[in-house]
């Protein structure tokens, strides 16, 4: 009974959160569209590309007619130009699975600008839930910190999105000690989730450097997007004299003299190099990269990112048609 009451309370909190924070996104929701670049969809009733050929809107390929093909799919323009009958195939529209892989470690419980990194992550998850949870698509989640946390199985509907947001808020309120183990989370995901999906990995990527090999393997099966949570203070030490800096995950401390200009410059350069190394590793895995900053509004950043994906799909369509 206590669990049921607590679950109801946290779901109500998530409903209030999504209503309060997504009032502006709701006005843009009809204009926003997450473009899926691969044919991933498998469930009936959706509007995304699947691996199945048949009646549909988006062109898959044009090929020569073979005995047994449906003559209703003959492309008469190409047939007239080549003097050979050709069939025009399209992707069947289906619904897809969307997975959110979210970092719940202590390092995201920090921020110095408009919000904490964890707040930006929750806001992004709420928008993604509304954006991709439409048209029969199913949304699931895997949360992780120093180890993978239990899965939230994929399902559709607003109530399920609220359940995911409630789970995120509960885990964010729990202290997770120890170094973030992104590699373990991705490995568990790779073992458990075999159906092709859109996978969105959200972390600050301030983790041990052992994750990119498994991310590469995931990207070969799933369409994968890496979302980096970033606060500008991570690359800028303020000049405030002697300060004690603490690793939020391991608790280790050291004293730094931030009045030392050379120290601040070395820190800035090291942070910039780290950011570029993370970005390059993600891109080498064939994974889309999006940085969400705590000092910038979410919607303009998302609109630019979604616009770039839409343009890439348009260019691919032109290449196939050519």
| Helix (H) / strand (E) containing 43 | strand 43-64
Least Cα distance to 118 among 32, 15, 204 occurs for: 204
According to the model, what pLDDT value does residue 71 have? Answer: 75
Least Cα distance to 224 among 243, 196, 247 occurs for: 196
Give phi and psi for 24, each to the nearest 5.
Answer: -70, -45
Name all domains of the chain by residue range, CATH numbers in brackets. Answer: 2-31+96-231+290-321 (3.40.50.410), 43-94 (no CATH)
| 272 in Cβ contact with 257 (< 8 Å) | no
Q: What's the predicted TM-score (pTM) here?
A: 0.76
According to the model, what pLDDT value does residue 321 have? Answer: 54
Q: How far is CA 233 from the centre of its chain?
A: 23
Q: How far is CA 313 from the centre of its chain?
A: 18
According to the model, what pLDDT value does residue 170 have? Answer: 92
Name residue, tokens 């391991």: 250
Tell how strand 86-95 and strand 43-64 pair up: antiparallel
Give phi and psi for 177, each to the nearest 5.
Answer: -90, 155
**CA atoms of 37 and 101, how far apart (whole Å):** 19
| 104 in Cβ contact with 145 (< 8 Å) | yes
Name residue, tokens 């930006």: 120
According to the model, what pLDDT value does residue 230 have? Answer: 96
| Beta-bridge partners for 255 | 244
- Cα dihedral: 113, 118, 120, 124 (round 10): 170
**CA atoms of 29 and 105, how far apart (whole Å):** 30
pLDDT in tens, the chain (322 residues): 333 344 445 555 555 555 544 444 455 566 667 777 654 444 444 444 444 444 444 455 677 877 877 777 778 888 888 888 887 765 544 678 899 999 999 999 888 888 999 999 999 999 898 888 877 889 999 999 999 998 999 998 889 999 999 999 999 888 888 889 999 999 999 999 988 899 999 999 999 989 999 999 999 999 999 999 999 988 888 888 998 888 888 788 889 888 899 999 999 999 999 999 999 999 999 999 999 999 999 988 988 998 888 888 777 666 655 5
Give phi and psi for 285, each to the nearest 5.
Answer: -80, 0
| Beta-bridge partners for 291 | 228
Per-residue pLDDT tens digits for 16-73:
555 544 444 455 566 667 777 654 444 444 444 444 444 444 455 677 877 877 777 7
Structure-block tokens of residue 24: 């502006």
The number of C-alpha atoms within 13 Å of 3 and in the hemisphere containing its C-beta is: 1
According to the model, what pLDDT value does residue 113 have? Answer: 80
**CA atoms of 288 and 200, how far apart (whole Å):** 9
């Amino acid at each position: 009974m206590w669990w049921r009451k607590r679950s109801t309370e946290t779901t109500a909190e998530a409903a209030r959160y999504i209503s309060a924070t997504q009032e502006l996104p709701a006005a843009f929701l009809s204009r926003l569209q997450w473009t899926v670049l691969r044919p991933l969809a498998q469930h009936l009733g959706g509007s995304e590309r699947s691996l199945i050929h048949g009646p549909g809107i988006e062109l898959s390929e044009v090929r020569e007619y073979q005995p047994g093909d449906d003559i209703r799919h003959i492309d008469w323009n190409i047939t007239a130009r080549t003097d050979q009958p050709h069939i025009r195939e399209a992707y069947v529209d289906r619904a897809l699975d969307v997975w959110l892989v979210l970092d719940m470690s202590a390092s995201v419980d920090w921020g110095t600008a408009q919000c904490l990194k964890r707040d930006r992550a929750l806001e992004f998850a709420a928008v993604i839930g509304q954006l991709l949870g439409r048209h029969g698509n199913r949304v699931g989640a895997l949360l992780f910190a120093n180890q993978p946390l239990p899965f939230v199985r994929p399902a559709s509907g607003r109530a399920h999105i609220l359940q995911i947001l409630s789970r995120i808020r509960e885990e964010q309120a729990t202290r997770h000690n120890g170094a973030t183990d992104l590699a373990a989370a991705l490995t568990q995901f790779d073992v458990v989730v075999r159906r092709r999906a859109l996978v969105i990995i959200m972390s600050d990527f301030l983790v041990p450097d052992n994750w990119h090999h498994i991310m590469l393997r995931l990207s070969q099966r799933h369409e994968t997007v890496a979302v980096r949570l970033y606060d500008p203070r991570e690359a800028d030490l303020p000049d405030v004299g002697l300060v004690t800096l603490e690793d939020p995950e391991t608790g280790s401390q050291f004293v730094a003299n931030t009045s030392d200009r050379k120290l601040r410059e070395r820190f800035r350069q090291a942070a910039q190099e780290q950011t570029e190394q993370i970005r390059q590793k993600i891109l080498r895995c064939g994974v889309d990269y999006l940085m969400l900053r705590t000092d910038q509004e979410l919607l303009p950043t998302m609109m630019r990112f979604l616009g770039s994906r839409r343009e890439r799909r348009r260019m691919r369509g032109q290449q196939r048609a050519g």
